[in-house]
Homo-oligomer: A and B are copies of this chain.
Amino acid sequence: MSEIAPPVAALIEEFSKLPGIGVKSAQRLAFFVLRSPTDQARRLSEAILRVKESIIYCSRCFNITETDPCPICSDAQREQEIICVVEEPLDVLALERTSAYKGLYHVLHGALSPMNGIGRKDLRIDELLRRLEKESTREVILATNPGFEGDYTSGFLRNEMKNALHLPQLRITSLARGLPTGGALEYADEGTLSRALEGRREI
């Protein structure tokens, strides 16, 4: 016998399939579970199953939800004519935390990435275009991540909306770029600083 007990080996293997978890981390996690109270292990085990069983995608905005349409889409208090387009459900969470946005969302579930073979069919792009044809949207805020893939995706969406749809009155905006609050000018990278200069405002 030169092997670890099979149930432990199986748990190590399953943990090491998670992103950012190597074999050593998976071993550490497995032994932690082994030593943790049974209740805690059971809660983790059940939380994993429950996420798979109860979470669906909203048929309107494609955010994750337990009910379709999701609580945001079915909230009549929210502005129905503004759609904020984000890459991931966590981006919705980040924007909701600001309490500064009262419109609706559209979750793409990723960004275009020719390098990684992620094209428009892999994202909820056509669903967004169909949605714009149906709903009376006044403004689309493109809130993809401020990096190469996010910017490429935003540019692509802008062109699609301008060219494929006949909605001349539709306003297309993107989030402001500049210095992050709490950041120091001397540590800002050139891209951020150029954008901050470019977008300077009268005070």
* Interface-located stretch among A11-19, A115-123, A147-155, A186-194: A11-19
* Interface-located stretch among A92-100, A133-141, A165-173: A92-100
Contact partner, A31, options B7, B14, B88, Cβ 8 Å: B88
Contact partner, A52, options B5, B33, B48, B66, Cβ 8 Å: B33
Which residue of B is nearest A41, CB measured?
Answer: B52
- List of B residues within 8 angstroms of A88 by Cβ: 31
- A interface size (C-beta, 8 A): 56
- List of B residues within 8 angstroms of A114 by Cβ: none
Contact partner, A64, options B29, B34, B44, B72, Cβ 8 Å: B34
Bound-state Cα–Cα, A52 to B13, Å: 16
Q: Is A51 an interface residue (CB 8 A)?
A: yes
- Contact, CB under 8 Å: B4 / A93: yes
A27, A52, A64, A89 — which one has the most chain B CB atoms within 10 A of its CB?
A52
Bound-state Cα–Cα, A18 to B26, Å: 11
- SS class of chain A's interface: helix, strand, loop or mixed? helix
Known contacts A52-B41, A64-B5: does B19 contact A32 (CB below 8 Å)? Answer: yes
Q: Is A49 an interface residue (CB 8 A)?
A: yes
Interface residues of A in 25-47 (CB under 8 A from B): 25, 27-34, 38, 40-47
- Contact, CB under 8 Å: A45 / B49: yes
> Could you show 25 A-B contacts with beta carbons less than 8 Å apart?
A1-B71, A2-B96, A2-B97, A4-B89, A4-B93, A5-B54, A5-B65, A7-B66, A8-B51, A8-B55, A10-B43, A11-B50, A14-B47, A15-B44, A18-B33, A21-B29, A27-B90, A34-B52, A34-B55, A41-B49, A41-B52, A42-B52, A44-B48, A45-B46, A45-B49
